Each structure stands twice: as C-alpha cells, then as structure tokens.
Amino acid sequence: MKRRQFLGLAAALPVTTTFGGWTLFNHAVSAPRFDNPLFLPGADGPFAVLAPDNPFTLVAEQGWLPVPGREETPFLWYRTQVNGTEYQNPILLLRSGDELDVTLDNQLDEGTIIHWHGLHVPGRVDGHPMQTVDPGQQYEYRFRVTNRGGTYWYHTHAHHRTARQAHQGLASFLLVSDDDNEALNEALGLELGKTDLPLVLQDKRFDRLGHLVYRPNPMQGMMGYLGDEVLVNMTPAATHEVERRIHRLRLLNGSTARVYRLALRAGGEAIPFRVIGTDAGLLESPREAREAFLAPGERLEVLVDFAVLAGGDRVELHSLEFDPMAGGGMMGGGGMGRMMGGGMHDGDPLVLLEFVVRAGEATSAEVPGRLSRIEPIDVTNAAERDIRLDMAPMQWRINGEVYDPDRVPIEVDANTTEVWSIRNADHSMPHPMHIHGFSFQVLSRSGGPDFVREQAVNEQGLTVADLGWKDTVLLWPGETVRIAIDFTHDYAGDQLYVFHCHNLEHEDNDMMVNVRVRA
C-alpha cells in the first residue's frame, strides 16, 4: 500500500490519546491529497518580495489570510505599504552592504518585537526579547546588512509569546544577495520566485472553522506544540508544477517545534539532491545528499534537477521517520513519542509537498563546482566553554539556568573567538540551539543516535546540514556538538544577545540565556 493511501485511511480514524490526564490530541490525522497549488508570492499581498531602499514601517497587526484550498484564517502579519503597494509579511530582499531602515509599529493587543534571525547586528537592533514593545508603541531599527548572501528570516521575539505569535503568522524571509549568489543564479538561469523558491515548512492546527489554533496543554508547552498538518508557504497539501530543469529550493523550518528529515521521492525511489547552502549562505561547493535534517530555525538550500525526470512524473518532498528520543529519551527509548500517535509525533513520516514535472524539453545546466569561499575560523587561541542542556521537572535548562533577564551567564570579549562544547543530556529531546548576532561553524558532532551518526559526511561527524556558516545547530539526545564562534564586531560598547533553544515552546519556557559581548 502506498503511503498516501495509508494516510488516507488513517484520516478516517479519529485518534485520541491521553497521557498523565492530558489529552495530547484529538484531531484526525489529515490526509494530504496534494490538490492545492503551492502559494508563491506575487507582486503584492502576502509574502510578496520587497526590496526596500527607503525607510518603511512594518505594522504588526491581525489580518485574515486566505489559505489555499481553505477558508480565511485570522493571521498575525507585518503589513507595509511601499510606493502604493500593500505587502503582508513581505519577503525582504537586500544586498550585502545595504542599509535597512525600518520601524516596527505594534498594533497588536499585546507586546511584540522583531528579531532578524541570522543577521550580524548590534544588540540594540537585534530584537532581544527584553526589547518587546507594548501595544501602540514603535521600535526603530537601522543597521547595515553585513552578512554574506543567504536565506535569513525575521520573526517575532515577544518575551514568552514568541511561539504563539510565530505560529499565528509573525515570520517571513529576509534574503540577502551577494556576488556569489548572483553568479550561481546566473550560471543556472535561476529566477527568484520561479525557479529559485523560498519554501517555509510549518506544521499548524486549524479548528473546525478553519482558524489557526495555538493552544498547547502543559505537556505540549514543555515538549513542543506539533501541528496535525504541515503547510508549505501556508499551503496545506501543496502541489507545484515544475519545468524540466534545475530548481533552487530555499527551505526554512519555520515550525515552532517539529524537526524534519527531508528526502525526495519519485515513484518510491530516492531522488538525490545537491545541498548548496545552510543557515548563512552558500557552501564552498555543492554536496550530493539523499536526506537532511532541518530543525526549527535552520535553513537548507538545495538544487533539484527535474531535467532527469519525465513529463508527468511526481516528486514528493518527504519527512522520513525517526525517533526524536533515540538513545534514551525522556521516558526511555522513545515510548513517549510513540504514545503520542501517528502524525502528531515528531519523527512520524509525512509527505510535505508534491512537484509535478511538466512535459517539454529538458534544460540542462552545469552546476558550478565552486560556489563560494569559506575561511575556517582560526581556533588556535580560542577560549573553551562548556554548555550543558538538561532538564529540571517540566523545565529545560542551559547550564542549569532558566532565563533570568537580570543574569548574564555567558560573557565573552569582543573580537575574540570561542569554542563552545554543547552537550545534550542522554535523557532529553532534540534541541536546536541558536545564538543571536553571530554566525558560527560546527567543528564536530558525536555521541548521537545511530540514524544521525549514519549521516556523517566527514570524520568530525558533521551532517550535511552542519556544513558552512550556521546560526542554529541541532543537538540530539546524548550528543556533544562543538562550534567555533568569532565574536568580532565594530559596534561601540557592550552588546547584549541571547542564546536559546529554537524549539519555540522551549524558548518561551525560558530555555534561554543572556549573552554579553564586552567591548
């Protein structure tokens, strides 16, 4: 039986599971039929591309988003008007070196703040949760984009409200271009929005009226709130027609808690792809892969060559099965996960999106062997720092700490390099750890479950998603991951950032610490 038929059957069976007195879920598992055209941004409206060259304002407010194949849902978005054109959650397009001059206008009925995920900016304009502004207030950001080209994003960082506000909509892409990116798109004839596709993966829940719901019970608040369907660009069961040529996919995991094990399948066969970039831009050279993990906050850029397929072929983007608690798990051996049932559990197999290959001439293109240049961070004089992730009852911790705005557990000197050795407890769950303000390089990964170690692409145990420049790195139970961070900057004075888990329920439950970079 094909998976899709299987999911179709599963859809008929409503499932309810209780655990410790809480109902973990009571929705039927949704049945993807892939009949909704994938939402791609147009010239205006939701997620349209905006290349701002003047000061503009992003109004955080509640609107109504038409979801492809569904009703409208209440949705939180950033709205702006530029030269008479209306945008909601615009995909911001900047060039390395550009200045961004934007004011957040909070028209929600609660506090909010915007964080520029992955950007190297001074603390004042980073969107630290303590910068959350009240309803009716504004916050001004003005900074130069100094990052290399890449797929970055911006989202709410409202203190203790990030997960819900992000789930309800407050997030979008911030794409940075540079010479390397332009050279690649030119060599392959790629065009943003057509053959170069930003794709945000988000699992969501809707109520009977078709309205997004975010209502975690205490268990989900601690573990992470999983949706019962995965949307790509806010499209449930999305289908997209592609020409027989190379496409660039910029995948962003914008889910609050779900980890994806991405793979492509056509007629049950694995379709290899080339990984060309990770969080903060292009790799030095493309690397062929058959699967890759993508945790909340992470980005992965891949090239898929549809020229080798025939017209009418269908290629599905899957998330393959895995056991998130492997190697111990909170309840030992993943029992907890399994108890949460099919489709509702992190690591359950899912089909996320379908591509249909259009008939016609195939266009072949030579993928450049060299994409960019990456200098390894020099760690010869680096200070070493140990970071332990573990849990107290109902509370995840970083070095035994939970977030206290008045404490600064990590202080580093500007213009120095540190090596952080991050160790996740054996009885734990996956934690995608993220630092604000700086990118890093992953040095090594060890001690994780077999299905992670099997994906090592080098002797240091790195997976394909660890290569290049990163700002978020996934820690599986039992793992130790070493990263090198270069705290070089030229901002005046001390800078305050945060280091936190990008499982946004974990973050809102204070799995976060302040980081001060001392002048």
Q: Output phi, psi for 221, to 5 deg.
A: -65, -30
Asked if 506 touches Cu ion (CB under 5 A), the answer is yes
Q: Are 347 and 339 in contact (CB under 8 A)?
A: no
Cβ-in-10-Å burial (0-12, 13-18, 19+) of 103 comes to middle
The residue from 56, 59, 65, 115 that contacts ligand C2O (CB under 6 A) is: 115
Q: Output phi, psi for 82, to 5 deg.
A: -130, 125
- Residue 254 pairs in a beta bridge with none
**Contact set for Cu ion, span 110-169 (CB under 5 A):** 117
The residue from 297, 328, 343, 447 that contacts ligand C2O (CB under 6 A) is: 297
Other Cβ atoms within 10 Å of 394 Cβ, number = 11
Compare residues 374 and 391 and give the one whose CB is closer to Cu ion.
391
Compare residues 116 and 206 and give the one whose CB is closer to ligand C2O.
116
Would you state the structure tokens that stand for residue 224, as one six-digit string? 């992470």
**Contact set for ligand C2O, span 416-435 (CB under 6 A):** 434
| 219 membership: H or E segment, kind and range | helix 218-223
Stretch in the footprint of ligand C2O (CB under 6 A) among 33-41, 234-242, 438-446, 495-503:
495-503
**Contact set for Cu ion, span 416-435 (CB under 5 A):** 431
Rounded distance between C-alpha atoms, residue 479 and residue 236, angstroms: 34
Compare residues 77 and 152 and give the one whose CB is closer to ligand C2O.
152
Stretch in the footprint of ligand C2O (CB under 6 A) among 209-217, 276-284, 330-338, 496-504:
496-504
The number of residues that bind Cu ion (CB under 5 A) is: 6
State the nearest-atom distance from the C-beta of 163 to ligand C2O, in Å.
Answer: 11
State the nearest-atom distance from the C-beta of 430 to ligand C2O, in Å.
Answer: 16
Asked if 470 touches ligand C2O (CB under 6 A), the answer is no
| 443 membership: H or E segment, kind and range | strand 440-446
Asked if 489 touches Cu ion (CB under 5 A), the answer is no
Largest CA distance in the chain: 63
E strand residue ranges, 145-191: 150-156, 171-177
Stretch in the footprint of ligand C2O (CB under 6 A) among 217-225, 349-357, 401-409, 497-505:
497-505
The residue from 155, 159, 164, 482 that contacts ligand C2O (CB under 6 A) is: 155
Compare residues 462 and 501 and give the one whose CB is closer to Cu ion.
501
Rounded distance between C-alpha atoms, residue 239 and residue 132, angstroms: 38
Asked if 244 touches ligand C2O (CB under 6 A), the answer is no
The number of residues that bind ligand C2O (CB under 6 A) is: 10
The candidate with the shortest Cα–Cα distance to 91, out of 172, 155, 187, is: 172
Q: Output phi, psi for 518, to 5 deg.
A: -80, 135
The candidate with the shortest Cα–Cα distance to 435, out of 424, 422, 454, 425, is: 422
State the nearest-atom distance from the C-beta of 229 to Cu ion, in Å.
Answer: 23
Provide the residue type at 176 as one letter. Answer: V
Asked if 157 touches ligand C2O (CB under 6 A), the answer is yes
Q: Pick from ligand C2O, Cu ion, none: which does 506 bind, CB < 5 to 8 A by kind?
A: Cu ion
State the nearest-atom distance from the C-beta of 431 to ligand C2O, in Å.
Answer: 13
Compare residues 443 and 501 and give the one whose CB is closer to Cu ion.
501
Other Cβ atoms within 10 Å of 460 Cβ, number = 13
Q: 273-278 and 314-319 as β-strands: parallel, antiparallel, unpaired?
A: unpaired
The residue from 133, 387, 501, 517 that contacts Cu ion (CB under 5 A) is: 501
The residue from 131, 156, 503, 509 that contacts Cu ion (CB under 5 A) is: 503
Asked if 274 touches ligand C2O (CB under 6 A), the answer is no
Rounded distance between C-alpha atoms, residue 94 and residue 197, angstroms: 16
Rounded distance between C-alpha atoms, residue 8 and residue 429, angstroms: 30
Give me the residues that bind Cu ion (CB under 5 A), please: 117, 431, 436, 501, 503, 506
Give me the residues that bind ligand C2O (CB under 6 A), please: 115, 117, 155, 157, 297, 434, 436, 498, 500, 502
